[in-house]
Structure 1
């Protein structure tokens, strides 16, 4: 048998070889693609950088940052840690919404407000059950009751637990936001405005509220621990989905800090005082108003937030028709923290 030397007359047995080579290349490419898409591979990919906040109202974050525990925990994954200061829930929520941080610390009802308005977050851990806010007046103030606040100026940071606490407190006295003048100031500025007589009352937040009491002689006009919503550690939904292993490392370190705080109250107070640039007695007073024993998000938070949620509708802080119960159900993540809390015996 003979074959022509022309290009069109190459032996036909070369075509199957080309087909086999092409098929092999295709299968290799497909296998590589499948490997990339498998959950195991996706979970194994740690982020180059983790961005999270620290806040003076979150003692765990201050302890973790001071001791470098998160950097140590993430070192094997070569993940760098970037700490961002949050001065209030409003700032933490802004950073989360914009993607400036992956994990942030807020009050519970503030997180609901953010979630209802499109912030893509879930509450993955409870860093404390605090009484961190109250309505504060100067020591020589003639204001004695909530009813006396009618027509007065109140400093409050909009979008935070103290702001929402103020609205709930006013409602108990038959007042609304329209009956007072809310002066939107960040928490430290609110304390200064109160001391200088620029406002009549201030929706305080620890540790600044504790400092106002001890250093300025300020008086707590109205307290209600049930109107203080829980301290939530929130994570962006996309971060939870893309980096569940890294989130587990973060929660492990938060659990370590929570237990360390219970065992080392004096050292914790010193860290809080150093970080917030306030006195040791102020830090101790702040810590005395925190319960660190309930880290697992669950039914208690769901019930507390659903009881508080009507305020957001009444004050027109969310869009009309918003199903806040559904928002709260979507916010509370009851699964992410369970393994690390269980590893400590659920203490």
Structure 2
């Protein structure tokens, strides 16, 4: 197959990658002292339109934040990063970002490395990871790939997802020849049979539908092990300097979360993702399955969500992704979210889960 076809596969593959993952020219560090809110998002778009998936695209496509805060004379500056989490953490460190819609591992790495941020809302949870393999190789599980080449996008939520699943099966990355490939390169490589497998997101089903891969392994049915999530992370400096702006942002995020959590809006949401990110409708339908969007897109910082971060921090430390852990409870600040839930009268909209067992049974 030609390179052009590989490029098309790669572009579609990148549209959902997680985390979840173009460096733009950022405003000066002094921007936070002006009437500008600087928002960072990993760019997952495969078209000319920037896209971040989920609540981000609902907000961006409708200019919801701009409309909500225009009376204050405040501008919203969006920066969509192809460099995903690592690039966003660098921007946080340089005081160039106020808020970020960020995947779990990026948020954890930033905090563990000393970034003064707070996790102020959830965006998505229980996002699954998948293993795609070259068809016809008889691969039924991860142990069948021992010694073979597996592509992994390091530094993203996918790395923690993969390593967590490996550990649950008594394996480590050392059991494989792991190659660090971004989503575009991984898609082209697996389609050309230059590697044996890829660990990625539901975008891999684009390749499966073309008959280019099999998907024998996923995080489904593992009691949350290997699933990943995303949240709204804020600079502590921004929270202290602009509490009124923070409140308005959270209220608007909740309104978008409420819309996308409604099953009656699912078709409209899937079409939005297709139009903005170039994501085939079938990809999101496969990820959501029969689950309730109100669970998947819940904004609550409930015990289930926070405990998932605790587990991930510990896993990241044990796997050597971070050198030392940190107090997740001290990082999470639910006060902004709770106030916004009351203000928008959405306090009873989503169900708070308390344990993994309860949430897993619901799913």
On whether the aligned pair clears a TM of 0.5, the verdict is yes
Asked if 1:195 is matched to 2:191, the reply is yes
Distance 2:270 2:95 in 1: 31
Distance verdict in 2 for CA 1:295–1:205, change over 3 Å: same
Tell me the equivalent position of 1:346: 348
TM-score, normalising length: structure 1: 0.77
Q: CA deviation at 1:60?
A: 0.7
1:220 to 193, 215, 219: 215
Unaligned runs of 5+ in 1: 1-44
Tell me the equivalent position of 2:152: 156
1:1-347 equivalences under 5 Å are 47-54=34-41, 55-56=43-44, 58-87=53-82, 88-206=84-202, 208-216=203-211, 218-225=213-220, 226=224, 227-261=226-260, 262=262, 263-288=264-289, 291-292=295-296, 294-319=298-323, 322=324, 324-326=325-327, 328-342=328-342, 343-347=345-349
Indicate the RMSD between aligned Cα atoms, in angstroms.
2.4
Q: CA deviation at 1:147?
A: 0.9
Distance 2:87 2:152 in 1: 14
Other structure's SS at 1:255 match: helix
Distance 1:185 1:234 in 2: 26
Contact 1:93-1:104 at 8 Å conserved across structures? no
CA offsets, 1:145-181, max 9 Å, x none?
A: 1112222222222121111111112212322122222
Distance verdict in 2 for CA 1:100–1:153, change over 3 Å: farther
Contact 1:229-1:305 at 8 Å conserved across structures? no
Q: CA deviation at 1:216?
A: 4.8
**Of 176-185 and 241-250, the range deviating more from structure 2:** 176-185
CA offsets, 1:256-304, max 9 Å, x none?
A: 1111112411111111111111323234334447634531214222322
Q: CA deviation at 1:192?
A: 2.4
Other structure's SS at 2:136 match: coil
Q: CA deviation at 1:124?
A: 0.8
Distance verdict in 2 for CA 1:333–1:211, change over 3 Å: farther
Contact 1:50-1:79 at 8 Å conserved across structures? yes
Distance 1:217 1:251 in 2: 42
Q: CA deviation at 1:72?
A: 0.5
Distance 1:150 1:279 in 2: 32
CA offsets, 1:83-103, max 9 Å, x none?
A: 222454344434333333321
CA offsets, 1:235-267, max 9 Å, x none?
A: 112111111211211111111111111241111
Distance 1:212 1:339 in 2: 44
Contact 1:210-1:286 at 8 Å conserved across structures? no
Contact 1:58-1:105 at 8 Å conserved across structures? no
Q: CA deviation at 1:52?
A: 1.2
Distance verdict in 2 for CA 1:210–1:258, change over 3 Å: farther
Higher helix share: 1
Distance 1:159 1:267 in 2: 32
**Of 150-159 and 185-194, the range deviating more from structure 2:** 185-194
Other structure's SS at 2:335 match: coil
Distance verdict in 2 for CA 1:139–1:103, change over 3 Å: farther
Distance verdict in 2 for CA 1:221–1:309, change over 3 Å: farther
Structure with larger Rg = 1
Contact 1:109-1:305 at 8 Å conserved across structures? no
Other structure's SS at 1:336 match: helix
> How many pairs align?
298
Distance 1:148 1:154 in 2: 12
